[in-house]
Amino acid sequence: MSADSPPPLVASIGPYTLPSNVVLAPMAGVTDRPFRVIARRFGAGLAASEMITSDVRLWTTAKTQRRMDHVGEPEPRVVQLAGADPDALAEAARRNIDLGAQIIDINMGCPAKKVCNRLCGSALLTDEALVAKILETVVAASSVPVTLKTRTGFRRDERNGVRIAQLAESCGIAALAVHGRTREDFYDGAAEYDTIREIRSRTRIPLFANGDIDSPQKARSVLDLTGATGVMLGRGAHGSPWIFRDVNYFLSHGKNAPALPFAEVSATILAHLESLYDFYGEETGVRVARKHLGWYLEKMQDAPDVRRELMAASTSASQFALSKKSLDAWVQAREEIAAATWGGIAASG
């Protein structure tokens, strides 16, 4: 660690001391069990499930059943719940705890129209009395820590994120994650962190800053600006689950991590594909894999021009075979370039 680089902060939630203060944001359609496992392997301190409805009548669907599947997942296991009825959320929390959830997270940050139209997600920020009732009821019903994911407010001209945070602390919430946008912002513009800094100055519970953190340097600057306990990465992890490795290294050493070997990048992508096929089955696995393959290609330097073919592949066998062939060629080309570059440097030296 360099002399001018502060040590990474230790993040604890209830009885759990996290291995890192850099955590994965829950994202519907992204943070399924296969992706959570990969993120944790690369150093994410925590990885919450995709959002699960508090309406237990809908839990028989294949989608919800998969979202409640934590087999082989590293601890502590986090389940995120969405809803607007305090008693329904409390019952959903109890049932998930019985199924192995070790932390319950409440979603008050989702900006999606279909969620907000039901007064769920970030729409709850418009009713602070209801927020208090939900938090009090779920905390009282839960034998594990309860955390909250929220935004800086519902509207730009009425940011109430500080009041929500103080309310959360008073209700017994164990940790808070705040996205630096209002619901009105959706994902437009740039995240602002001044509200998160004010929340930090007015609360004492662990606080994770979220929004537009897509590099180790950005993580460091957000931590320095806000004084937050840690950072939560969402879209920055699309196509690069190893970003947790890179951020952890930068926070600890004050410099960039050595580049991940090209062969390890390839092996990670292929292992991810196999885990998706196994988790979802043939048809859904291929469809979900297309999304991740697109993100991987976007992040890869000199990525092979096979996106169209990969998106057209209709079976797991054809999709995997094309991915492996393309990645093998990419690894060989990148390693040859690297060898030539270092050979030239050695000769000139």
1 pLDDT exceeds 50? Answer: no
Task: Please pick, among 110, 116, 120, 171, the residue that the annotation labels catalytic.
Answer: 110
Note whether residue 1 is domain-resident. Answer: no
SS3 content of the chain, % helix, strand, coil (to 5): 50, 15, 35
The CB-side HSE value for 341 (13 A sphere, CA atoms) comes to 6
280 pLDDT exceeds 50? Answer: yes
Note whether residue 266 is domain-resident. Answer: yes
Q: Give tens-digit pLDDT for 290-336.
A: 999 999 999 998 888 999 999 999 999 999 999 999 999 999 999 99
From 252, 149, 254, select the one nearest 209 (Cα to Cα). 149
Residues 186, 273 within the same domain: no
Residues 55, 178 within the same domain: yes
Report residue 4's pLDDT band, with 50, 70 and 90 as the boundaries. very low
Residues 239, 291 within the same domain: no
- DSSP designation for 24: E
Note whether residue 4 is domain-resident. Answer: no
Say what the pLDDT of residue 346 is: 44
**Domains of the chain: total:** 2
Residues 237, 332 within the same domain: no
Residues 243, 266 within the same domain: no
Note whether residue 6 is domain-resident. Answer: no
Residues 239, 284 within the same domain: no
Q: Tell me the residue type at 105.
A: D
179 pLDDT exceeds 80? Answer: yes
Give dist(CA 304, CA 300) in Å, integer: 9
Last residue of a domain, one of 227, 253, 279: 253
Placement of tokens 């407010």 in the chain = 153
Give dist(CA 124, CA 149) in Å, integer: 12
pTM of the model: 0.92
Note the Cα 295 to chain centre separation in Å: 15
Q: Give tens-digit pLDDT for 128-166.
A: 999 999 999 999 999 999 999 999 999 888 899 999 999
Residue 110 annotated among the catalytic residues of the structure: yes
Give dist(CA 284, CA 315) in Å, integer: 10
- Domain containing 291 equals 262-348
Residues 271, 152 within the same domain: no
Report residue 111's pLDDT band, with 50, 70 and 90 as the boundaries. confident
Report residue 344's pLDDT band, with 50, 70 and 90 as the boundaries. very low
Q: Give tens-digit pLDDT for 6-17.
A: 445 668 999 999
Residues 98, 138 within the same domain: yes
Placement of tokens 């932390």 in the chain = 103
Of the two residues 339 and 136, the one the predictor is more confident about is 136
